[in-house]
Amino acid sequence: MKILTGNDLKTGAVVWWTGQDWSLHVEDAVDVGDQADTILAREEAARRVNASYAIDAERDADGGVRPAHIKDRIRALGPTVRPDLTLKPADPDAGNWVI
């Protein structure tokens, strides 16, 4: 699948396109097919996202979304060396998902 990601302009937080807006959670990302450029241009112009781009991803076994590249998985979760600062501080296996 093709999903869209970027950073919130004001806060810098990593965000994912849900089909309607931008979510902090990669699980909410939708497949945009061949609409990436159109959506990104519109959303950037409206300043609803910054530094956005399209990436490949797959659906997990449990329905989650797994970005193809480790860099985007780190963006999705947070730094692997500070689990307490990630989106899933209580989940001891969260780091494994990144790798």
Partner 1 sequence: MYRYDHYDQAMVDARVEEFRDQTRRRLEGKLTEDQFKPLRLQNGLYLQLHAYMLRVAVPYGTLNSAQMHVLADIADKYDRGYGHFTTRQNIQYNWIRLEDAPDILADLATVEMHAIQTSGNCIRNISSDQYAGATADELVDPRPYAELLRQWSSFHPEFLTLPRKFKICVIASETDRAAMKLHDIGIRIVRNEAGELGAAFYAGGGMGRTPMIAPCIREFVPLDQLITYSEACLRVYNRYGRRDNKYKARIKILVHELGKDEYARQVEEEFAHLQTQGIEPPIAELERIKTYFADPPFEAGLPDDLDRSDPDFAVWLDRNTHPHKQPGYAIAVISLKPVGGIPGDASAAQIHLMADLAKEYSFDELRVTHAQNIVLPHVRKADLHALWRRLEEAGLATPNLDRIGDIIACPGLDYCSLANARSIPVAQKISKRFAETGKDEELGELKLKISGCINACGHHHAGHIGILGVDKKGTENYQLLLGGCEGDDTSLGKITGPGFDEDGIVNAVEKATDVYLARREEGERFLDTYRRIGMEPFKEALYG
Give me the residues that bind partner 1 (CB under 8 A), please. 7, 9-14, 44, 47, 50-51, 68-71, 74-75, 78-82, 85
Whole-angstrom distance, CA of residue 66 vs CA of residue 44: 24
**Running DSSP on this structure, what letter comes out for residue 58?**
E
Q: How far is the CB of 50 from partner 1 (least distance, A)?
A: 6
Q: Rounded to an integer, what distance in angstroms lies between the CA atom of residue 78 and that of residue 68?
A: 16
- Specify the residue, 2 or 48, whose C-beta has the smaller distance to partner 1: 48
Report the nearest approach of partner 1 to the CB of residue 77 (Å).
9
- Whichever of 13 and 21 has its CB closer to partner 1, that residue is 13
